[in-house]
Structure 1
Amino acid sequence: MPDTELRHTFTVAAAPAAVSAHLAEPANYVGLSPLVVEVRDVSREDEATRYTAVERFRFLGFLRHDNPIVVTLHLDGTEAVYGDVVSPGGVRIGYRFDLEPDGDGTRVTDTLRLHAPFGLLRFAASRARAVQLARSGILTGRLES
C-alpha cells in the first residue's frame, strides 16, 4: 500500500504539560481538526484512549459525507501524544505530536504517516496536510488565549 509522511513544526506559547493535556482529550479534537464534527464512544484503558470521530467532507458546497474514523490515542508523559487512525476505504494514519520545551512555550512537531490504497493517497494526503496546517493555528489560538 502506498504511503507518505507529512511533518509540520510550530511553537505554542503554553507549557508542554498544557499542550499534552489538551491533545490527550478526545473532545478537544472537534474543531481542532477542521473536518472533525463529533467525537463519541470514548473508552479509556490503562495505556490507550479509543474513540470514534466523525469527519465531515463537503463537496460542491452542498453535498456532504460523514466519515466515521476509529482513533487510538496514547500519551508519553508530557513529551508526546501519538496513535493511529483507521478510516473506511483503507486509509490508515499514524500520528505523533512531539512536544519539546521552547522558552516559555512548546515546540510541537506534528507528524502524520499515511497509508492508502493506490489512487487514494494523493487525495488523503492533500486533506491531511490541510488539516495539519490548520491544526497548528487552531491549537495555538486555543492555548494562547
Structure 2
Amino acid sequence: MPKVTLRHTFHVRNTPAALRAHLSQPQSYVGLSPLVVAVRDIQQGEDESRYVAVERFKVLGLTYENPIRVTLRSAPAAVEGKVTSPGGVRMDYRFLLAESGDGTEVEDTLVVHAWARPLLNFAARKAREVQLARAKVLAARLG
C-alpha cells in the first residue's frame, strides 16, 4: 500500500503536560482539525481512547461526511494514534512534545496510506492542509 509521510514542527507557549492533556481528549479534535465537526461513540481507557470522528469536506462541489475510526494513545512525551477511513485511507499520527524555552516544540508527523495513488494524493493533500492549520489552532487555543 503506497504511503506519504508529512512532518511539521512548531512552537506553542504552554507546557508539554498541557498539550498532552489537550491532545489526549477526543473532543479536542473538533475544530483542531478543520475537517472534524463531531466526535461520537467514545470509549475511554486509561491511556487509550477509541472513537468515531466525523470529517466534513467537499468533493466535486458536494459536501461529504466521512466517519473515521480513531484510536488515540497517550505516552509521557507524545500523543499518537491511528485513523481508518471507510474510503480505504489509513493514517498513523504522532505529536512528539518537547519542552523548549517558554513552551513546547511539537513535532507533528502523519503517515498516510491508501490503496491507490490518486486517492493517496488527495488524502495527503487534505492531511497537509489540516496539519498546517492544526498548528495555528493549537497555538491559539493553548498559547
Structure 1 match to 2:108: 110
Query: In the TM superposition, what whole-angstrom CA distance separates every residue of 1:28-63 from its partner, at most 9, and x where no partner exists?
Result: 1000000000000100124410000000012465x2
Q: Per the alignment, in what secondary structure is the counterpart of residue 19 of structure 2?
A: helix
Answering whether residue 82 of structure 2 is matched by residue 84 of structure 1, we say yes
% identical aligned pairs: 58
Aligned equivalents of 2:37, 2:46: Cα separation in 1: 27
Q: Per the alignment, in what secondary structure is the counterpart of residue 65 of structure 2?
A: strand
Q: Per the alignment, in what secondary structure is the counterpart of residue 87 of structure 2?
A: helix
Moved over 3 A (4+): none
Q: Per the alignment, in what secondary structure is the counterpart of residue 89 of structure 1?
A: coil
Aligned equivalents of 2:119, 2:21: Cα separation in 1: 33
Alignment of 1:61-140 (within 5 A): 63-77=62-76, 79-118=77-116, 119-140=118-139
- 1:104, distance to aligned residue in structure 2 (A): 2.0
- 1:103, distance to aligned residue in structure 2 (A): 1.1
Structure 2 match to 1:5: 5
Unpaired runs of at least 5, structure 1: none
| Matched positions, count | 142
What TM-score do the two structures reach when normalised by structure 1?
Answer: 0.94
Q: Per the alignment, in what secondary structure is the counterpart of residue 39 of structure 2?
A: strand
What TM-score do the two structures reach when normalised by structure 2?
Answer: 0.96
Structure 2 match to 1:21: 21
2:49–2:72 Cα contact (<8 Å) kept: yes
1:67–1:83 distance in 2 versus 1, CA, 3 Å:
same
2:47–2:75 Cα contact (<8 Å) kept: no
Unpaired runs of at least 5, structure 2: none
Answer with 33-42 or 51-60: which moved more: 51-60
